[in-house]
Amino acid sequence: MIFKNNTSEFLGFEFAVFQLKDGVTEEQLLALSKEVDDKFLSNEKEILSHFLLKGKDGKYADVAIATTQVKAEEVCQLWLHNDVTQKYLELLDQESVDMSFWSRIS
């Protein structure tokens, strides 16, 4: 989980809802999320926060707060070319993924 001091200055937001593949545990998700934070997202200066949420019926949400929506989208594209993030993405039931990007307006 990343929370940088200037989180209140965010203008971009990535929100991805998903379920885990059969056989994948929440512990595995949490471990790889920490690895993504430590080895990838902590190096992205314009990512201000990253965390997971748990909802009903086995649903999770991966949330990233960025300086702009454009930056959130750029960093999201980098996930496709990183070894650590690839391991994280392999845990997800790809058919359940619903990702969207938002801009703060107030």
Q: What is the pLDDT of residues 51-89, one digit of tens each?
A: 999 999 999 999 999 999 999 999 999 999 999 999 999
Stretch (H or E) spanning 66 = strand 59-66
Q: According to DSSP H, which parts of the chain are helical?
A: 26-39, 69-78, 83-89
Q: In angstroms, how far is the first alpha carbon of the chain from the final one?
A: 25
Amino acid at 52: L
pLDDT single digits (tens) 22-57: 999 999 999 999 999 999 999 998 999 999 999 999
The whole-number pLDDT of residue 9 equals 75
Place of tokens 């990007």: 101
Kindly report the pTM of this predicted structure. 0.88
82 φ, ψ to 5°? -125, 135
